[in-house]
Structures are given as structure tokens and as C-alpha cells.
Amino acid sequence: MKLSQLKQIIKEEIQNALKDEDIYVPYQFDDQRGKELYIKYNKADENPAWESVDGPYEKVIKLDTLLKITGMSLAELQELNSYGDESWKLYIDQKTNTVTVFND
């Protein structure tokens, strides 16, 4: 499958998810762009590539793996992170190629 085809499929999935009012999107992602980014990111949430770090509220994944799973660019991931607050935050470390997420 070509990258352009994959991007189109992801775009269609996001548009369908935005129409579905049963999709849970945390309050911090309160505008259309935030919702789109969260829905894209959330596809990776239950992926087994995540590793627990210090209990159930912290987990880590390789940055390139997360980008591949979600179809996001690094810029989109950083934009998503700008919506974070004390209850949800990504720590993106390009030097170690890891992303750590903290969920309360």
C-alpha cells in the first residue's frame, strides 16, 4: 500500500470518527484540530509496543514506532502535545527516540 493511500484512509477514518458523537475525546482537545489530532494519536493507545514504566499511569514507546502507528508527523505529534495539561502530557525525546505519556 502506498503512503498516499494510507494517508487517505487515515483522513477518512478521522472524518468518520468526528461525525460519531460516541467517540471519547478528552476535554483538553476542545477544538476541531485538537479532536482530529487526538483521534489520530488514540489509534496507538492500546498498541502492545507501549511499555509500562512506573505503574499504570506512565508508559513509553519508540518515537518512530508511534509515528508509524498513528500516521502522524513529528510536527503533528508536537502540536497534539500543545493541548496537554497536568492530567495528560507527552514527553518527546528525539535524542533517545522515545515518547513517554503520563495519564492521570
Q: Indicate if the alpha-carbon torsion angle 95, 80, 68, 1 is positive or negative.
A: negative
Nearest to 39 by CA among 61, 59, 63, 13: 13
pLDDT at position 103 is: 74
In this predicted structure, the answer to whether residue 89 has a pLDDT above a threshold of 80 is yes
Give the predicted TM-score (pTM) of the model.
0.76
pLDDT for the residue 13: 74
- Mean pLDDT across the chain, nearest whole number? 85
> For residue 21, how many other CB atoms are within 10 A of its CB?
5
pLDDT, residue 10, reads 73
Which of helix, strand or coil describes residue 3?
helix
Average pLDDT over residues 57-75: 93
pLDDT of residue 37: 93
